[in-house]
């Protein structure tokens, strides 16, 4: 190593100048192995841990008493649980999109953000997968939705989108996990090599699967990673399309709409990138990663949010147009109720946060303003949650039979499960940044080399 | 009919008891009584087992070995008047009530009260022990106490002894009372009805010179004019009248036109063809003006008083249909107006055609007002209260509780240790109607024997038993007491008695119509005007308050408001505006110095300048279900029917819970209607609506239903909105009660609901619509269930597999009719222990977290199938009767097999009025509706 002079990175926008292989490794690995367990981190950890404890207590209470602790009723038999599910699964989109989609498209800017975005995907999709089970009247029988051989030869009912959901989500979760883990292997080996304590050496060593950095390892690693990326890419589209079918298949106005699959995918990427920004900005700030996660990254994410925002605004318009074009009094009533009824404040919140506020991203100064980005990304998260709420709840509360109309009001437990899940997510993320490299060391090293080559080439 | 699938039995105990019927000699009995009394006094011991009068079979009769339930014919009473019921007994437990088709006041149907009576029977809070001076005591202690008191009453002549009952029609009780009055010559008997001020009787006395009951023959009418009389839901003949009335409108026949005048919106007004809402005084005035127009008001009322177009139209319709019309007066109208209505019917030639007068069915005793005065004056030394609750339901002006405190010895015999039972020195538990021997008479005088269906749950004593001991009668066994009323010396008596019991009616016991001559010179009543008039009306759910502890009834939505678990002061929109009050705002209501606080509820159909105070709520000692539900309007009640009322805002609010938060139709075509003339012009109007049935094209071959194809048709012309179907379904299918808070959250469990829609342009009186599961052939719920817990069976039923259901609730989300119900919490276990007895063993009790809905009473279909297969034949038409269909007083629900060419349901669906709800969704519902045809007065169009 000492014989070859180490390359020093050039400023290529997505990586600032002056970084070598060693300094990158030091920078990223020290965040994990080099202490830094600050009081601030501990406070955040304690708060999210408490929230997580509340979340699991609330789940226990839910199992003991029943879903009647929520505000759901007839006609609004789906409430926050389904809204939260769709919201979380949407958030879980950006990670795989960034790491797989952008890898195939050879987008360099994915490198420094793909690792934590993938972690975010896993946590979000995992939490999302929890909600449909919590939502069941008899959650202990959730496995009946899966096909398994049994004496009574009972199988799931294949026409139900909920069965498709099980496959879509579990496939997505498994592929995302494998993809994430495979990407982690070289970095785990780095951590193993740098770990001071025996315990850490063993744990990271086991996880590194005997990685020695051989050329053969690298060759297989590269092809496996590319294959997995190819596998994960269609899943990004399929999982939320299937989730959208949960609604689109139903007859109820507000659910029954063929635009839902693309609309949901766009919305998912929208909320996913919003969450990426919500996480990247504090991460970058507290770990001083300004050279790795640059304004260019933020700018790109903001541009993607702008595009997806425009797509969902278009979807809103198409929904409205189709309602009137259909001439169905039920569709029209549901639509107008969305604008003017009980949940109109939620609609207008959604509209402003999802369709108006992101228009600020047309301006470069906004896209490069960290405070504005963080604010807008949080507003978009709220807006997207509102959209899920509206689709799930508002559509049902004024459907075909005027006699059956009823309103949904969330209970304290509804809020507990929502905020509990957010706390749990934050808790997992805090653990992640302490235990695993939040930025891919191996890929960043590669980027250093590439930055040099790019500069030399020009 | 349902009772055909089981068997009605004659008294099965007779065979068993035959050889054991012990006749005790009085001396021995007296001796034993005293022995028991002294033993109790000495030891204060616990009571022994109940006196055994029902014993198990030694040899089981063959019919008991079958799985089919047994049906016993007996009678249930409302306001003292009986109507025949068949009580279903499953393994010795009474679980369900059906109407007795042979009984004139039932014709196979019942009202909501009889349906809910099963829950009353099994209510764990029923009184089970004797109380003396507020502490648990024994029967022997009571008997000893009574003997001591009886001896002191005017040296045995009964001075200061008073008996208070409700309306009494029971011939046995009347005979016992006569014996009592003979035994204690100075005792006096009082009776009252909490909800009937007795004006009808007074009116008859004015018109005919003697009290007579009026009996309507609505099936012979073409025009009905109701002056503030809700004959479809109040009174002893409501079920029968509803049947007769609906029979004229079935399937759009439109053979009758109902003009209704009412202050408080009720079922009669909601089903009227022409209706106006007026103050009670104004209704009386209109009655007199219409009487003048048809020449029945004599010379007294100014015949030239200006009349409205409405009044002229009504008078014209009456005159055009003389002899085939009827004028009905409501119980709260002045006696003079009742007399006037008799004169009107006489003048129109309706007497003996559409109106009959019969000798009063209920015994006339002295009014309670005199009793209260005597009690206040200290002239009552012993008071026996039989099955009444005056501490709660006597008008507040009588201050009954204060009066009762002045009576040194008071005995209350009742089903509950209620307000009165707790205030009396003695409380005796009474058996339920299905646990005792008694008899009763219907509105037309028909006698029914009340026989026990099951062994009394507690050691109880019926009013007959209490009176027998007061009278020192030889027989204290109530069966013997009742038999004594009917026993004749001839040899056929035993056969005849068996026949009485088997049929549930005593043959040819109806009263004969009397020839009458109504006076026409009765002076009009003096009407006192006031800016706001109070109307006290019985509750359609708790009646006079006696059903307050019945959770089924509390949770059954009140027909027009859809309110549950509450009552409220009902106001018209204008009145509410002038008082500046909104729904749920608590007001202080004051009348003659008495005051209550209650929330108000605004009904668009309500008359202005009137406030309706529904009775029967605000109980203080009904049990944990009914206590503190609503407000007690009796407390406000004066001695006159209507008095000036003032309402003052308190600034507080109280949430009123409605099972249907939206009563507007929003221009949708859920309920389709036309007038008779429109129907004649375009008979297919129901399907010519702008939403056409979508073309039923599919890539798949049609699904065959080779065996049976079950279907239902609901005639919106016949449905009057009473809600009996909902509660019959609840009783049949073990549907849990969820309570006020859960209904507020929108989680009621009723499998068939009766939707109410407010007036629209085409439905001036609004509409009722029963909505069970549609059993769609293309059921949206089935496609979306991930575990196949809701599937279609080979006979077209959309069935729910409870043990497969995981509770995703996707089926409900995808049900356009929203008829699916979910066990959000552990509802089935929410009732107190003891209620389980009322459960139907043929229907699964659903656990938490599963979906449920109407099954078309699949257990009844199964039972019929088993019976048919045993006999190697198909199920016959009419053999399967769903619970809602069986109970319906108006026969609005038709059910049967579409594969049967002549089946009732197929005939009904062949009507041009037949339409499917939301047909445009191509769900192909098996449940369809017959569109409503109104018969408005062309002159008022």
Q: Is A83 an 8 Å CB contact of chain B?
A: no
Contact A394, A341 (CB under 8 A): yes
Write out pLDDT tens, residues A157-182.
999 999 999 999 999 999 999 999 99
Q: What is the Cα–Cα distance from A174 to A167, expressed in whole angstroms? A: 10
pLDDT tier at B4, thresholds 50, 70, 90:
very low
Chain B residue nearest residue A144, CA to CA: B787
Answer yes or no: is B203 within a domain: no
- Residue corresponding to tokens 């390892």: A217
Q: Is B16 a residue whose pLDDT tops 70? A: no
* B22 — pLDDT class (breaks 50, 70, 90): very low
Q: For residue A350, which phi and psi values (nearest 5 degrees)? A: -60, -45
B564, B809, B850, B918, best to mutate vs chain A, most A CBs in 10 Å: B809
Q: What is the pLDDT of residue B529?
A: 81
Instruction: Count A/B contacts: CB-CB distance under 8 Å.
Output: 157
pLDDT value at residue B694: 58
Gap from A128 CA to chain B (nearest CA, Å): 16
State whether B260 and B342 are in the same domain.
Answer: yes
Residue of A nearest to B691 (CA): A328
Residue B262 forms part of a structural domain: yes
Instruction: Tell me how crowded residue B873 is: count the other CB atoms within 10 A of its CB.
Output: 9
B88 with B35, same domain?
Answer: yes
What is the average pLDDT across A203-224?
Answer: 91
Ranking B523-527, B598-602, B621-625 by mean pLDDT, the lowest is B523-527
Determine the structural domain holding residue B734 and report its residue range: 673-695+704-936
Q: Rounded to whole angstroms, what are the CA distances from B104 to B96, B117, B327, B357, B766?
A: 20, 20, 22, 16, 30
Q: What is the DSSP string of B255-287?
A: --EEEEEESS--HHHHT-SEEEE--HHHHHHHH
Residue B71 has φ and ψ, to the nearest 5°, of: -120, 130
Domain ranges of chain A: 33-451
CB of A403 less than 8 A from some CB of B: yes
Q: Which residues of A touch B668 (CB under 8 A)?
A: 329, 402
CB contact under 8 A, B753 and A403: yes
Give the per-residue pLDDT at B38: 54
Measured CA angle at B49 (ends B45, B51), to 5 deg? 115
In a domain, B372, yes or no: no
pLDDT confidence tier of residue B29, bands split at 50, 70 and 90: low
Q: Do B670 and A402 touch (CB under 8 A)?
A: yes
Of residues B793 and A99, the one with the higher pLDDT is: B793
Q: Which of B55-59, B200-204, B873-877 has the lowest mean pLDDT?
A: B55-59
**H-helix or E-strand containing B715?**
strand B710-715
Give the pLDDT confidence score for residue B304 in this predicted structure. 60
Of B117, B192, B187, the residue nearest B392 (C-alpha)? B192
What are the angstrom distances between the C-alpha of B234 and each of B242, B333, B758? 10, 14, 22
CA-based nearest residue in chain B for residue A400: B816
Q: Are strands B927-930 and B914-915 parallel, antiparallel or unpaired?
A: antiparallel
Encoded tokens for A210: 């005997």
Task: Report the residue from B661, B667, B851 with minimal CB separation from A406.
Answer: B661
Closest Cα in chain B, distance from residue A329 (Å): 8
A-proximal residues of B, 762-821, CB under 8 Å: 769, 771, 780, 783-788, 804-810, 812-814, 816-818, 820-821
Residues B852 and B883 in one domain: yes
Q: Give the per-residue pLDDT at B15.
A: 38
On whether residue B156 sits in a domain, the answer given is no
User: Are the beta carbons of A162 and B783 separated by less than 8 Å?
Assistant: no
Half-sphere exposure in the Cβ direction for A418 (13 Å, CA): 20
Provide CATH code, domain A33-451: 1.20.1630.10
What's the whole-number mean pLDDT along residues A217-228? 91
Contact B816 A400 (CB under 8 A): yes
Q: What is the DSSP letter of B202?
A: H
Burial class of residue B88, CB neighbours in 10 A (0-12, 13-18, 19+): buried
Same-domain status, B684 and B594? no
| A137 lies within 8 A of chain B by CB | yes
Q: Give B608→chain A minimum CA distance, Å.
A: 26
B830 alpha carbon, distance to own chain's centre:
25
Q: Out of A427-441, B150-164, B681-695, B760-774, pick the least confident.
A: B681-695
Inform me whether the pLDDT recorded for B12 exceeds 60: no
d(CA B439, CA B447) in angstroms, rounded, equals 7
Tokens 């019942």 label which residue? B110
Long-range contacts of residues B240-244, Cβ cutoff 8 Å, at least 24 apart: B240/B104, B240/B105, B240/B106, B240/B107, B240/B443, B241/B216, B242/B109, B242/B720, B242/B722, B242/B889, B242/B890, B243/B107, B243/B109, B243/B889, B243/B890, B243/B891, B244/B216, B244/B217, B244/B218, B244/B219
Q: pLDDT class for B11, splitting at 50, 70, 90?
A: very low
Q: Residue B303's domain is classified under what CATH number?
A: 3.40.228.10
In terms of Cβ atoms closer than 10 Å to its own Cβ (0-12, 13-18, 19+), residue B34 is middle
Q: Which helix (H) or strand (E) holds B741?
A: helix B740-744
- CB nearest A136 (choices: B808, B812, B820): B808
CA A288 to chain centroid, in Å, comes to 23
Distance CA B533, CA B641 (A): 10
In this structure, are B884 and B750 located in the same domain?
Answer: yes
Taking the CA atoms of residue A351, residue A355, residue A356 and residue A358 in that order, the dihedral angle to the nearest 10 degrees is 130
Mean pLDDT (chain A, rounded): 89
Q: Given a cut of 80, is residue B593 above it in pLDDT? A: yes
Does residue B152 fall inside a structural domain?
no
pLDDT top residue among B829 and A317:
A317
- Direct distance between the N- and C-terminal alpha carbons of chain A, in angstroms, rounded to an integer: 27
Residue B27 lies in a domain: yes
**pLDDT, mean of residues B303-311:** 77
In Å, what is the CA distance from B722 to each residue of A56, B550, B856?
A: 48, 17, 20
**B918 contacts A400? CB cut-off 8 A:** yes
Residue B790 has pLDDT above 50, yes or no: yes
Regarding whether B468 and B326 lie in a shared domain, the answer is: no
Q: Are residues B929 and B784 in the same domain?
A: yes
B744 touches chain A (CB under 8 A): no
Q: Does A72 touch chain B (CB under 8 A)?
A: yes
A152 Cβ under 8 Å from any chain B Cβ: no
Q: Both B648 and B687 in a single domain?
A: no
Which residues does chain B have within 8 Å of residue A409's beta carbon, measured at their own beta carbons?
745
For an interface test with A, the pick among B815, B820, B830 (most A C-beta atoms closer than 10 Å) comes out as: B815
Share of chain A above pLDDT 70, in %: 98
What's the rounded Cα separation, in Å, for the pair B434 and B86? 10
Whether residues B826 and A66 touch (CB distance < 8 A) is answered with yes
B826 contact A CB<8A: yes
| 8 Å CB contact of B784 and A160 | yes
Number of domains in chain B: 4
ipTM of the predicted assembly exceeds 0.90: yes
Give the pLDDT mean for B217-243: 93
| pLDDT at B20 > cutoff 60 | no
What percent of chain B has a predicted confidence (pLDDT) above 90?
Answer: 63
Same domain? For B555 and B438 the reply is no
Provide DSSP, B548-570. TT-HHHHHSPPTTT-EES---EE
In a domain, B281, yes or no: yes
Measure A12 CA to nearest chain B CA, in Å: 51
Q: Single out the residue of A367, A380, A124 nearest to residue A266, CA to CA.
A: A380
Least confident of A418-432, B444-458, B525-539: B525-539
Q: Tell me: the pLDDT tens digits for B333-389?
A: 999 999 999 999 999 999 889 999 999 999 888 999 999 999 999 999 999 999 999
Spatial CB neighbours of B695, under 8 Å, sequence gap ≥ 6:
none
Please indicate whether, in this complex, the C-beta atoms of B757 and A402 are within 8 angstroms of each other. yes
Distance from CA of B556 to the nearest CA of A (A): 15
Name the β-bridge partners of A419: none
What is the structure's pLDDT at B2? 40
User: Quick one: B677 and B652 in the same domain?
Assistant: no
Contact (Cβ atoms closer than 8 angstroms) between residue B841 and residue B95: yes
* Residues from chain B contacting residue A74 (CB–CB below 8 Å): 746-747, 812, 818, 820-822
**Residues B477, B578: one domain?**
no
Asked whether the beta carbons of residue B668 and residue A162 sit closer than 8 angstroms, the reply is no
Q: Is A215 on the interface with B (CB under 8 A)?
A: no
**pLDDT digits 0-9 by tens, A25-61:** 888 887 777 766 778 888 999 999 999 999 999 999 9
Distance CA A406, CA A14 (A): 52
pLDDT of residue A458: 46
Q: How far is A76 from chain B (nearest CA, A)?
A: 7
Percent of chain A, pLDDT > 90? 60
Is the Cβ of A133 closer than 8 Å to some Cβ of chain B? no
Rounded to the nearest integer, the mean pLDDT of chain B is: 87
**B216 membership: H or E segment, kind and range:** strand B213-216
Compute the distance between CA of residue B567 and CA of residue B590 in angstroms, rounded to an integer: 17
Residue pair A70/B830 in contact by the 8 Å Cβ criterion: no
DSSP H/E element including B571: strand B569-571
Yes or no, beta carbons of A255 and B813 under 8 Å apart: yes
Parallel, antiparallel or unpaired: strands B798-800 and B790-792:
antiparallel
Same domain membership, residue B731 and residue B858: yes
- Can you tell me the mean pLDDT for B590-600? 91
* Residue B18 CA neighbour count, 13 Å, CB half: 8
Residue in A closest to B816 by C-alpha: A400
Residue of A251, A255, A395, A398 for testing the chain B interface, max B β-carbons within 10 Å:
A251
Q: Which residue has the tokens 């002893």?
A: B236
- DSSP-derived 3-state class of residue A40: helix
B692 inside 8 A of chain A by CB: no
Grade residue B46 by pLDDT with cuts at 50, 70 and 90.
very low
Quick check: A205 pLDDT over 50? yes
Whether the CB of A223 is below 8 Å from some CB of chain B: the reply is: no
pLDDT for the residue numbered B9: 47
CATH of the domain at B908: 3.30.70.20
Q: Does A170 touch chain B (CB under 8 A)?
A: no
Count Cβ atoms within 10 A of the Cβ of residue B61 and give its class: 0-12 exposed, 13-18 middle, 19 or more buried. Answer: exposed
Listed in sequence order, the residues at least 6 apart from B556 whose beta carbon sits closer than 8 Å to its beta carbon are: B112, B116, B541, B564, B723, B726, B727
- With respect to residue B848, please indicate whether it lies within any of the assigned structural domains: yes
Nearest to A250 among B661, B807, B814 (CB): B814
Which candidate in B758, B776, B818 is best for mutational testing of the A interface (most A CBs within 10 A)? B818
When computed from its CA atoms, the radius of gyration of chain B, rounded to whole angstroms, is 28
> In Å, how far from its chain's centre is CA B759?
26
- A169, A402, A407, A409: best mutation site toward chain B, by most B Cβ within 10 Å? A402
Residue indicated by tokens 């063809």? B273
Q: Which of B735, B808, B829, B922 to mutate to test the interface with A (most CBs of A within 10 A)?
A: B808
* Mean pLDDT of all residues in B444-454: 92
Question: Shortest CA distance to B504 belongs to which of B453, B445, B462, B451?
Answer: B451
Best A401, A409, A411 member to test B by mutation, with max B CBs in 10 Å, is A401
A399 touches chain B (CB under 8 A): yes
Residue B241 pLDDT level (bands cut at 50, 70, 90): very high
- Given CB atoms, is B824 within the 8 Å cutoff of chain A? yes
Q: Which of B340, B358, B376 corresponds to the end of one domain?
A: B358
Q: Give per-residue pLDDT as tens, A270-311.
A: 999 999 999 989 988 888 888 888 888 899 999 999 999 999
Closest residue, chain B, to A394 (C-alpha): B813
């Amino acid at each position: 190593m000492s014989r070859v002079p180490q390359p020093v990175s050039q400023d290529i926008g997505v990586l600032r100048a002056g970084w070598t292989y060693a300094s990158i490794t030091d920078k990223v690995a020290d965040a994990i192995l080099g202490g830094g367990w600050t009081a601030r981190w501990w406070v955040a950890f304690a708060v999210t841990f408490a929230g997580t404890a509340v979340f699991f207590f609330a789940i226990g209470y839910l199992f003991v008493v029943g879903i009647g602790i929520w505000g759901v009723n007839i006609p609004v038999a789906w409430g926050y649980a389904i809204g939260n599910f769709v919201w979380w699964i949407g958030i879980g989109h950006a990670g795989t999109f960034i790491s797989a989609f952008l890898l195939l498209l050879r987008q360099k800017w994915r490198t420094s953000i793909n690792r934590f975005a993938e972690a975010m995907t896993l946590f979000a999709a995992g939490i999302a997968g929890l909600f449909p089970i919590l939502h069941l009247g008899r959650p202990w029988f959730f496995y009946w939705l899966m096909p398994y051989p049994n004496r009574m030869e009972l199988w799931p009912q294949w026409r139900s989108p909920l069965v498709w959901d099980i496959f879509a989500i579990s496939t997505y979760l498994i592929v995302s996990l494998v993809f994430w883990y495979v990407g982690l292997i070289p970095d785990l080996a780095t951590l193993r090599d740098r770990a001071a304590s025996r315990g850490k050496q063993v744990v990271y060593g086991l996880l590194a699967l005997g990685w020695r950095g051989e050329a053969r390892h690298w060759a297989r690693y590269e092809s496996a990673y590319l294959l997995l990326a190819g596998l994960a890419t269609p899943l990004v589209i399929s999982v939320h399309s299937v989730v959208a079918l949960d609604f689109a298949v139903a007859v109820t106005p507000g659910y029954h709409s063929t635009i839902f699959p693309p609309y949901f995918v766009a919305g998912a990427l929208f909320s996913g990138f919003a969450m990426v920004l919500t996480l990247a900005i504090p991460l970058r700030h507290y770990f001083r990663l300004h050279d790795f996660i640059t304004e260019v990254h933020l700018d790109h994410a903001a541009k993607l949010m702008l595009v997806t925002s425009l797509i969902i605004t278009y979807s809103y318009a198409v929904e409205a147009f189709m309602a009137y074009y259909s001439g169905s009094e039920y569709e029209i009533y549901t639509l107008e109720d969305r604008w003017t009824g009980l949940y109109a404040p939620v609609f207008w919140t959604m509209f402003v946060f999802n369709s108006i506020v992101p228009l600020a991203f047309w301006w470069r100064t906004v896209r490069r303003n960290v405070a504005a980005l963080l604010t807008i990304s949080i507003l978009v998260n709220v807006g997207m949650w509102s959209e899920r709420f509206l689709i799930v709840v508002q559509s049902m509360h004024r459907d075909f039979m005027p006699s059956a109309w009823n309103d949904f009001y969330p209970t304290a437990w509804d809020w507990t499960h929502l905020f509990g899940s957010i706390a749990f997510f934050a808790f997992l993320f805090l653990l992640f940044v302490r235990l695993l490299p939040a930025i891919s060391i191996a890929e960043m090293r590669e980027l250093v080399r590439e930055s040099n080559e790019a500069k030399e080439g020009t | 009919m349902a009772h055909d699938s089981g068997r009605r039995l004659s008294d099965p105990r007779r065979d068993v008891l035959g050889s054991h019927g012990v006749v005790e000699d009085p001396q021995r009995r007296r001796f034993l009584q005293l022995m028991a009394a002294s033993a109790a006094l000495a030891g204060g011991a616990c009571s022994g087992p109940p006196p055994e009068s029902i014993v198990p079979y030694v040899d089981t009769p063959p019919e008991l070995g079958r799985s089919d339930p047994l049906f016993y014919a007996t009678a249930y009473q409302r306001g003292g008047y009986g109507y025949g019921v068949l009580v279903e007994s499953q393994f010795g437990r009474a679980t369900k009530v059906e109407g007795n088709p042979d009984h004139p006041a039932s014709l196979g149907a019942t009202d909501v009260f009889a349906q809910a009576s099963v829950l009353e029977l099994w209510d764990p809070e029923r009184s089970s022990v004797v109380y003396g001076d507020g502490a648990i005591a024994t029967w022997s202690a009571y008997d000893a106490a009574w003997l001591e008191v009886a001896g002191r009453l005017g040296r045995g002549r009964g001075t200061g002894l008073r008996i208070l009952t409700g309306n009494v029609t029971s011939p046995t009780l009347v005979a016992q009372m006569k014996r009592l009055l003979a035994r204690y010559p100075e005792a006096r008997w009082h009776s009252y009805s909490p909800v009937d001020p007795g004006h009808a009787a007074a009116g008859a006395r004015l018109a005919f010179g003697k009290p007579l009951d009026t009996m309507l023959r609505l099936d012979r009418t073409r025009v009905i004019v109701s002056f503030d009389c809700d004959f479809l839901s109040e009174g002893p003949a409501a079920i029968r009248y509803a049947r007769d009335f609906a029979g004229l409108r079935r399937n759009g026949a439109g053979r009758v036109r109902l003009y209704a005048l009412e202050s408080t919106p009720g079922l009669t007004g909601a089903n009227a063809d022409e209706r106006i809402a007026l103050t009670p005084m104004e209704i009386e005035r209109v009655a007199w003006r219409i009487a003048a127009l048809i020449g029945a008001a004599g010379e007294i009322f100014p015949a030239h008083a200006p009349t409205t177009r409405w009044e002229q139209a009504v008078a014209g319709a009456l005159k055009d249909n003389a002899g085939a019309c009827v004028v009905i007066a409501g119980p709260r109208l002045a006696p003079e107006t009742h007399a006037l209505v008799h004169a009107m019917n006489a003048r129109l030639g309706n007497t003996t055609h559409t109106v009959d007068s019969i000798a009063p069915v209920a015994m006339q005793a002295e009014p309670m007002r005199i009793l209260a005065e005597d009690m206040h004056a200290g002239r009552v030394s012993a008071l026996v209260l039989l099955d009444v609750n005056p501490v709660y339901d006597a008008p507040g002006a009588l201050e009954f509780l204060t009066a009762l405190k002045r009576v040194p010895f008071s005995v209350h015999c009742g089903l509950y240790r209620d307000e009165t039972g707790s205030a009396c020195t003695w409380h005796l538990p009474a058996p339920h109607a299905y646990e005792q021997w008694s008899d009763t008479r219907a509105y037309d005088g028909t006698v029914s024997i009340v026989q026990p269906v099951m062994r009394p749950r507690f050691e109880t004593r019926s009013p007959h038993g209490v009176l027998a001991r007061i009278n020192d009668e030889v027989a204290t066994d109530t069966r013997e007491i009742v038999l004594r009323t009917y026993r004749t010396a001839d040899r056929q008596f035993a056969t005849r008695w068996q026949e009485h019991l088997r049929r549930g009616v005593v043959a040819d016991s109806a009263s004969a119509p009397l020839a009458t001559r109504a006076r026409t010179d009765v002076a009009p009543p003096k009407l006192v005007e006031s800016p706001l008039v109070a109307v006290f009306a019985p509750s359609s759910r708790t009646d006079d308050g006696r059903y307050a502890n019945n959770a089924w009834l509390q949770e059954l939505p009140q027909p027009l408001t859809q309110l549950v678990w509450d009552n409220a002061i009902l106001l018209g929109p204008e009145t509410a505006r002038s008082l500046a009050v909104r729904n749920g705002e608590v007001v202080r209501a004051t009348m003659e110095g008495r005051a209550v606080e209650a929330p108000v509820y605004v009904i668009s159909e309500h008359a202005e300048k009137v406030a309706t105070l529904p009775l029967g709520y605000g109980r203080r000692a009904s049990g944990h279900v009914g206590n503190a539900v609503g407000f007690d309007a009796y407390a406000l009640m004066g001695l006159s029917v209507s008095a000036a009322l003032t309402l003052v805002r308190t600034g507080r609010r109280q949430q009123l819970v409605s099972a249907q938060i939206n009563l507007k139709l929003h221009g949708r075509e859920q309920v389709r209607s036309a007038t008779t003339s429109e129907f004649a012009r375009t008979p297919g109007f129901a399907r010519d609506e702008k939403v056409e049935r979508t073309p039923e094209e599919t890539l798949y071959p049609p699904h065959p239903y080779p065996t049976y194809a079950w279907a239902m048709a609901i005639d919106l012309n016949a449905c009057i909105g009473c809600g009996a179907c909902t509660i019959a379904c609840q009783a049949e299918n073990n549907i849990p009660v969820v309570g006020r808070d859960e209904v507020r959250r929108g989680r009621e469990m009723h499998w068939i609901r009766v939707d109410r829609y407010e007036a629209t342009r085409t439905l001036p009186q609004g509409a009722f619509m029963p909505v069970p599961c549609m059993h769609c052939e293309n059921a949206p719920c089935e496609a979306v269930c991930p575990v196949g817990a809701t599937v279609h069976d080979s006979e077209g039923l959309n069935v729910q597999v409870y043990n497969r259901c995981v509770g995703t609730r996707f089926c409900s989300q995808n049900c356009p009719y929203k008829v699916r119900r979910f066990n959000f919490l552990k509802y089935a276990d929410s009732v107190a222990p003891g209620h389980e007895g009322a459960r139907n063993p043929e229907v699964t009790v659903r656990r938490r977290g599963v979906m449920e809905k109407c099954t078309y009473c699949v257990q009844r279909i199964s039972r019929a199938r088993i019976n048919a297969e045993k006999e190697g034949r198909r199920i016959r038409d009419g053999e399967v009767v769903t619970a809602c269909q069986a109970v319906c007083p108006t026969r609005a629900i038709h059910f049967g097999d579409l594969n049967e060419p002549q089946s009732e349901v197929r005939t009904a669906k062949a009507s041009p009025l037949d339409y499917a709800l939301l047909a445009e969704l191509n769900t192909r519902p098996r449940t369809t509706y017959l569109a409503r045809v109104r018969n408005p007065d062309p002159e008022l169009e």
